[in-house]
Chain A
Amino acid sequence: MSKNSSETPAELAADIRDERLIRHEGIAGAVRASVQRVRGGDLGSLPVVIGLVLIWAIFQILNPNFLSSNNLVDLTMQSAATGTIAIGVVLVLLIAQIDLSIGSVSGLSAAILAVGMTQLGWPIWVAVLAALAAAVLIGLLYGILYTRFGVPTFVITLAGLLAVLGLQLKVLGPNGSINLPYDSWIVQLGTSMFFPPWAAYALAIIAALGMFLSDWFRSRRRIRAGLTGGSLSLMLIKSGLLLVLLLVAVWYLATTRGVGVMFALFVVFVVIMNFFLMRTRWGRAVYAVGGNVEAARRAGIKVNRIVISVLMLGTLFAAIGGLFATGRLTAATLSSGGGDTNLVAIAAAVIGGTSLFGGRGSAYSALLGIFVIQSISNGLSLLNLDSSIRYMITGAVLLLAVIIDALSRRSRATHGQA
Chain B
Amino acid sequence: MTLEAPSAPEHPLAKEPVLSIRGISKGFGAVQALTDVDMDIYAGEVVAIVGDNGAGKSTLVKILAGVHPADAGTITFNGRPVTIPTPAAARALGLAIVFQDLSLCDNLDVVSNLFLGREVGDFTLNEEEMEKHSWTLLRQLSAKIPSVRIAVASLSGGQRQTVAIARSLIGDPQVVILDEPTAALGVAQTAEVLNLIENLRERGLGVVLISHNMADVQAVADRVVVLRLGRNNGDFRIPDVSYEDIISAITGATDNAVTRRASAHESHEGHTS
Contact A300 B108, CB 8 Å, known A18-B146, A225-B131, A418-B151: no
Q: Which of B87, B91, B118, B146 has the most C-beta atoms of chain A within 10 angstroms of its own C-beta?
A: B146
Task: Report the minimal beta-carbon distance from B189 to chain A, rounded to whole angstroms.
Answer: 16
Contact residues on A (Cβ < 8 Å of other chain), bracket: 35 or more
Q: Which interface residue of B121, B123, B128, B140 has the most chain A CB atoms within 10 A? A: B128
Contact B103 A295, beta carbon cutoff 8 Å: yes
> Is B214's CB within 8 Å of the partner chain A?
no
Q: Is A390 an interface residue (CB 8 A)?
A: no
A98–B207 CA distance with the chains assembled, in angstroms: 42
Chain B: CB-nearest residue to A221? B128
Is the beta-carbon distance between B116 and A15 smaller than 8 angstroms?
no
Residue B139 at the chain A interface, CB threshold 8 Å: yes
With beta carbons under 8 angstroms apart, the residue of A280, A290, A297 that contacts B123 is A280
Give the docked Cα–Cα distance between A296 and B115 (Å).
Answer: 11
- B147 partner residues in chain A, CB cutoff 8 A: 15, 18, 21
Query: Is B88 a contact partner of A1 (Cβ separation < 8 A)?
Result: no
Contacts of B119 in A (CB 8 A): 281, 284
- Residue A2, interface by CB 8 Å: yes
Which residue from A14, A285, A290, A412 sits with its C-beta under 8 Å from B132?
A14
Indicate with 1 or 0, residue by residue over B141-179, a CB within 8 angstroms of chain A CB atoms: 000111111110110000000000000000000000000
Which residues of chain A from 188 to 224 have any CB-CB distance to chain B below 8 Å in the complex?
218, 221-222, 224
Chain B interface, >50% SS class: loop
Question: Which residues in B have their C-beta under 8 angstroms from that of A288?
Answer: 105, 108, 112, 116-117
User: What A residues does B117 contact at CB under 8 A?
Assistant: 285, 288, 296, 299-301
Known: A1-B136, A227-B128, A292-B104. A300 touches B87 (CB 8 A): yes
Bound-complex Cα distance A279 to B123 (A): 8
Q: Which chain A residues lie closer than 8 Å to B124 at the CB level?
A: 279-280
Q: Are A15 and B118 in contact (CB under 8 A)?
A: no
Does A294 interact with chain B (Cβ within 8 Å)?
A: yes
Q: Is A142 an interface residue (CB 8 A)?
A: no
What are the residues of chain B within 8 A of A14 when measuring CB–CB?
131-132, 135-136
The reply to whether B132 and A225 form a contact with Cβ atoms under 8 Å apart is yes
- Interface residue A287 (Cβ < 8 Å from any Cβ of B): yes
Q: Which of A376-418 contact B (CB under 8 A)?
A: 412-413, 415-418
Q: Which of A20, A222, A291 contacts B106 (CB 8 A)?
A: A291
CB distance from A408 to the nearest CB of B (A): 13
Contact call B106/A300, Cβ cutoff below 8 A: no
Contact A280 B105 (CB under 8 A): no
- Chain B CB within 8 A of A44 CB: no
Interface: B236 (CB within 8 A): no
Q: Is the CB of B107 within 8 A of A360?
A: yes
When the two chains form the complex, which single residue of B132, B136, B153 contacts A418, counting CB atoms closer than 8 Å? Answer: B153
B99 interface residue (CB < 8 Å to A): yes
CA distance A417 to B149 in the complex (A): 11
- Confirm or deny: B125 has a beta carbon within 8 angstroms of a beta carbon on chain A: yes
A399 to chain B, nearest CB (A): 24
Q: Contact between B107 and A294 (Cβ–Cβ < 8 Å)?
A: no
Q: Is B129 an interface residue (CB 8 A)?
A: yes
- Say if the beta carbon of A298 comes within 8 Å of chain B: yes
Are B107 and A225 in touch, CB under 8 angstroms?
Answer: no
Q: Is the CB of B148 within 8 A of A15?
A: yes
> How far, in angstroms, from A381 to B136 measured CA to CA in the complex?
59
- Contact B132–A226 (Cβ < 8 Å): yes
CB distance from A216 to the nearest CB of B (A): 14
Check if B136 sits within 8 Å of A294, measured CB to CB: no
10 contacts between A and B (CB under 8 A): A1-B140, A222-B128, A222-B131, A227-B131, A227-B135, A287-B108, A295-B116, A298-B99, A415-B154, A416-B153
Binding site for B on A (CB under 8 A): 1-2, 14-15, 18, 20-21, 218, 221-222, 224-227, 279-281, 284-285, 287-288, 290-292, 294-301, 359-360, 412-413, 415-418
